[in-house]
């Protein structure tokens, strides 16, 4: 007569461990670790579309993939493979940047004021000066 195992589950322990290992390895194979790789061609097409929407001379900031550099300048000549990033000196030829080198692209706010901005600022200053003159005249006549 055989004796019963000390624990009721001890006889099936090997089978249970094997079943857990198979199920666990199958679920790991279905889901890769970390973030999924992006499709490089769709990223390049997105960058091309962003650049195409910008005017020449627009200030931009470009972060590169490999060198991890951050470049700032104005958008120059654009072609199918990349564009030229102009530095501060307009006489310089600029730096050629290919679309496949870019990690991110950011449009920088322009530093130039528009004519409308100057007109609005002048009008506001004029209103404040006129209001101050009227206030001082009323206070002086009291």
User: What is the tens place of the pLDDT at every residue in 15-63?
Assistant: 667 656 666 665 555 444 444 445 566 788 888 888 889 888 889 999 9
142 and 93 share a domain?
no
44 and 73 share a domain?
yes
Structural domain span for residue 123? 113-142
**Number of independent structural domains in the chain:** 2
**Residue 11 belongs to some domain of the structure:** no
Confidence category of residue 66, pLDDT binned at 50, 70, 90? confident
117 and 90 share a domain?
no
- Asked whether the beta carbons of 82 and 71 are under 8 A apart, the reply is no
| 5, pLDDT greater than 50 | yes
CATH number at residue 63: 2.30.30.100
45 and 75 share a domain?
yes
């Amino acid at each position: 007569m055989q004796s019963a195992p000390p624990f009721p589950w001890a006889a099936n322990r090997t089978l249970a461990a094997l079943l857990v290992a198979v199920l666990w390895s199958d679920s790991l194979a279905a889901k890769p670790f970390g973030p999924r790789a992006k499709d490089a061609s769709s990223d390049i097409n997105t960058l091309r579309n962003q650049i195409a929407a910008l005017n020449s001379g627009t200030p931009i900031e470009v972060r590169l993939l490999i060198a991890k550099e951050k470049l700032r300048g104005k958008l120059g000549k654009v072609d199918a493979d990349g564009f030229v990033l102009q530095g501060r000196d307009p006489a310089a030829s600029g730096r050629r940047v290919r679309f496949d080198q870019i990690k991110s692209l950011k449009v920088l706010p322009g530093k130039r004021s528009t004519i409308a901005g100057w007109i609005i600022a002048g009008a506001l200053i004029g209103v404040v000066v006129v209001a101050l003159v009227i206030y001082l005249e009323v206070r002086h006549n009291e």
